Amino acid sequence: MSKSPRRITILTGAGISAESGLGTFRDVGGLWSRHDWRDLATPRAFARDPGFVLDFYNWRRAAVRAARPNPAHLALARLERDWPGEVTLITQNVDDLHERAGSRAVIHMHGTHLRALCAACGHRWPAPEVMAPDDPCPACAAPRSRPDVVWFGEMPYHMDRIAAALEATDLFVSIGTSGTVQPAAGFAAAARAAGARTLSLNLEPSRNAAAFDDSRFGPAAEIVPPWVEELLASG
Ligand code: OAD
């Protein structure tokens, strides 16, 4: 890296949590190879069979609660703490492993299944361990509780803040994401068009590999910590 970047924007996906024991979506054996996302991750699926959808997220929530942050999450928390410039951390993940590793300002663009959302009035509250279709909303009492996650066909959260970060960043780094799901799959190209260098840290080339200036391949827990150390040494 020739000149040290001041502003760094990082996008993480399921691959960063893989070594914490949480499954990814599209790898061999991934969640969407075993389950049809149309039955689990759309507003229509929830309207058709809320119990089935909530059971799936109850199972995922339990898996997240049992998981621990891995060295990649810890390294990103250290970067946020010690980098003299600005670090913006955007995640597509609905787990809280970045926060438990110590990251403070995580942008959860796909929401979090540790929070419940009332589909009737929009109120949000901490999700109980087990959600049931007739749980009443604490604010309006409607029995329309759902996980506060973004489903296919819904608008991701915090897009204004993300667009501003992509526009201003000097370095964009994508970690553990297949580059398949929009709009996140377009962030590298947007950052590059605004003048940033782009780096991919992934197990293998992602679908949007052409949008990256540099790449390093390997498990996140092995390749993210040395990258962070190099960056901190250069800053
Ligand atoms: P995917 O499952 O599509 O991609 C995971 C990526 O991580 C792949 O490119 C893998 O090669 C890589 N990977 C796997 N293990 C890894 C490891 N140990 N270290 C580093 N990389 C590894 O997951 P996402 O790209 O996050 O959306 O999926 C994006 C969105 O699709 C998710 O947020 C979710 C899903 O449907 C919603 O639920 C709305």
pLDDT in tens, 30-61: 888 888 888 889 999 999 999 999 999 999 99
CA distance 9 to 229: 17
| Residue 110 annotated in active site | yes
pLDDT above 70 for 178: yes
Residue 231 CA to residue 235 CA, distance in Å, equals 6
**Interval between CA 25 and ligand 1 midpoint (Å):** 6
Count of structural domains, the chain: 2
Considering the domain architecture, whether residues 27 and 140 belong to the same structural domain is answered as yes
Mutate to test the pocket of ligand 1, among 53, 57, 106, 177 (most ligand atoms within 8 A of CB): 177
pLDDT at 3 > cutoff 60: no
CATH number of residue 130's parent domain: 3.30.1600.10
Same domain, 187 and 216: yes
Phi, psi of 201 (to 5 degrees): -120, 105
Is pLDDT of 29 > 70?
A: yes
State whether the beta carbon of 181 lies less than 6 angstroms from ligand 1.
yes
pTM of the entire structure?
Answer: 0.96
Residue numbers of the domain that contains 178: 1-22+70-110+156-235
Distance 15 CA to ligand 1 centre (A): 5
Phi, psi for 214 (deg, rounded to 5): -135, 155
Let me know whether 115 and 196 are in one domain: no
Same structural domain, 17 and 27:
no
Q: Are 73 and 16 in contact (CB under 8 A)?
A: yes
171 and 235 co-located in one domain? yes
Question: Relative to the CA of 184, which ligand 1 atom is closest?
Answer: 29
What is the distance between the alpha carbons of residues 102 and 54, in angstroms, rounded to a whole number? Answer: 29
Rama region for 125: left / alpha / beta (φ>0; ψ in -120 to 50; rest): beta
189 and 79: one domain? yes
Which segment of 25-29, 136-140, 152-156, 200-204 scores lowest on mean pLDDT?
25-29
Which position among 73, 108, 110, 113 bears the catalytic label? 110
Encode pLDDT of 58-104 as tens digits.
999 999 999 999 999 999 999 999 999 999 999 999 999 999 999 99
**200 Cβ below 6 A of ligand 1:** no
Q: State whether 95 and 202 are in the same domain.
A: yes
